Structure 1
Amino acid sequence: MFIWLHILAGTSFLLAACWFILKALNYPELFRRIDSTLQPTKDFADILEVENKTEETKKIRIEQLKNFMVEKEPFLEPSLTIQELADQLNIPVRELSVLINHHLNQHFFDFVNEYRVKKAMTILRDASKKEVTVLEILYEVGFNSKSSFHTSFKKHTNQTPTAFRNS
């Protein structure tokens, strides 16, 4: 009798496991919390274009974004997110994302790091700041780690920060 109880429990467990596996294969969004009916972001770029986003409006938004980055320097905040930047600009996150990804052809972090590197370059060129170490500069311009700073700096200038300072 005890063996039959084990066989029944094992079979029930096996059937339940098979049911979950088949459900996962047929409806993956149930287990990943991803809605497979969502549109790719490329479609959002097209939708935004259709919703009265003319070429002129797009240029104005991009110019507004670039001016804001230069004047207010939000990139100096190491934990800056696209949500925070969109809030500061008073534009929807999705629109900002489409502007950066599809119209500037950059990822958000590459976009932000470009401004950080430019700021670091001005500090490295400044003769009055020769005493400031590269480590101090990378934290000052918003980077969190030496490796990400060196990678971004080399990507934008083809030089290390020290080589840039010495040239």
Structure 2
Amino acid sequence: METNYSFISIIDILGVVQGVLFGVMLLLLHSKKNKPTLYLGFFILLFSLEPIPNILNDLGLLHQYPQLELLPVHFHFLAYPLFYIYIQKISVFGNKNPSYWSLVPGILEILVGIVIFLLPTELKLKLKASRYSVVYFVIGLGYSIWIGILIIKWIQHHKKEIENQFSFVLHKQLNWAKLFTYSSIGFQLLLMINFFVDNSYWYYFVIIINVILIYWVSFKGIVQENITSLFSFFSQLGTQPYSTTIAELSATEKNKSNVLTSAEMVEIVKIIDDYIKNSQCYVKDNLTIIDVANAINIHPKRISNSLNKLKGENFNSYINKFRVEKAKALFKDDSKANLSVEGIGMEVGFHSKASFYNAFKKFEGDTPANYRKKKG
């Protein structure tokens, strides 16, 4: 068991070192253009410091220096709120004020933790063995899980808005962050079990998960770019024109009410339908609602609202339906028989094989390959 226990200590140390390195690296990458990286860097730093008391205990340092007990390195109330703010800042709603209120319990946690750490050693040992320590741990993990739920809700709201603005949504939906948050909630539950179950093998499993999560969020955080809302960009066009047409449209349309009558929505959708069919602009893989707004001289918010309320579709789904119909026509075209299924997808505006297959299956209930065979 000693050999296994030493190995656990090595993994623990590895997790702390790599977390600190990744956190510092992200803090150094922080800039005015990429300000959210600041929050992610601090999150990784705090997230990775969790095992330090266990490392000190494994190395016998807590026994030798009991004054190191209750070192203020647990951040149950602060770490995940930092990740929450990071997600808010990189999302399509990044121009809104983030939930800074969520940091307040964490700041109080640090202040109280410092005060407790400065108490006499005997008193600290009594606190550690008391039920108050258990209550703090459980409430802290509960708060982290609650913040995780708020993060998931925010990402779902973000995803819905992204699909209202872009025809190409890959890498914009923050799916990695959603999956990481679910995994982190699971990790919090594992920590809670480990707190009440004194088993070195179980702890070994928990710290392996911890190391994986640190690597995962660090890598994804480095490559993730901020997702700017096209609607907020459009609202600024009066002072920073995208084009002459857009600038004029901004001046005439931006103050119109987004509350549309049924007749207005019907008229707007007819204009959109005619333009999309005649121009076949959907074959542009990075088509945005701004491109369509520029072409038909209607504010993008009014376009989005009309599609949502009259057709029950977001912009992404609306455009993909045209692409699927075009793909079906090309499958029947003998002159396109030399093109692969993926090639047809690219021809009609899909950016990847996965997006083509998903959209085709959604509208036709079958894969494009099977559809081609049946029509062949």
Determine if the TM-score, normalized by the shorter chain, exceeds 0.5.
yes
For 1:48, the equivalent position in structure 2 comes to 258
Q: Where do 1:61-76 residues align within 5 Å?
A: 61-76=268-283
Kindly indicate whether residue 375 of structure 2 is the aligned counterpart of residue 157 of structure 1. no
For 2:305, the equivalent position in structure 1 comes to 98
Matched AA of 2:353 = K
For 2:96, the equivalent position in structure 1 comes to 34
Matched AA of 2:269 = I
Kindly state the Cα deviation for residue 131 of structure 1 after the two structures are TM-superposed. Answer: 1.7
* Alpha carbons 2:282, 2:323 under 8 Å: kept: yes
Kindly state the Cα deviation for residue 127 of structure 1 after the two structures are TM-superposed. Answer: 2.8
Distance 1:93 1:59 in 2: 15
Kindly indicate whether residue 337 of structure 2 is the aligned counterpart of residue 130 of structure 1. yes
Q: Structure 2 stretches of 5 or more lacking a match?
A: 1-77, 99-160, 162-256
* Alpha carbons 2:269, 2:303 under 8 Å: kept: no
Distance 1:141 1:160 in 2: 16
Segments of 4+ in structure 1 off by > 4 A?
none
Distance 2:359 2:261 in 1: 33
Structure with greater Cα Rg = 2
In the alignment, which of 84, 87, 105 is matched to residue 294 of structure 2? 87
Distance 2:363 2:276 in 1: 17
- Percent identity (aligned): 27
Aligned in 2, Cα 1:33/1:64: closer, same or farther, shift over 3 Å? closer
Matched AA of 1:82 = I
The two structures, once aligned, show a CA RMSD in angstroms of 2.5
Distance 2:302 2:352 in 1: 29
Q: Structure 1 stretches of 5 or more lacking a match?
A: 1-20, 42-46
Kindly state the Cα deviation for residue 158 of structure 1 after the two structures are TM-superposed. Answer: 0.8
Distance 2:261 2:296 in 1: 19
Distance 1:33 1:48 in 2: 20
For 2:237, the equivalent position in structure 1 comes to none
| TM-score normalised over the length of structure 1 | 0.68
Matched AA of 1:67 = D
Give the aligned length: 130
Kindly indicate whether residue 267 of structure 2 is the aligned counterpart of residue 57 of structure 1. no
Distance 1:85 1:143 in 2: 17
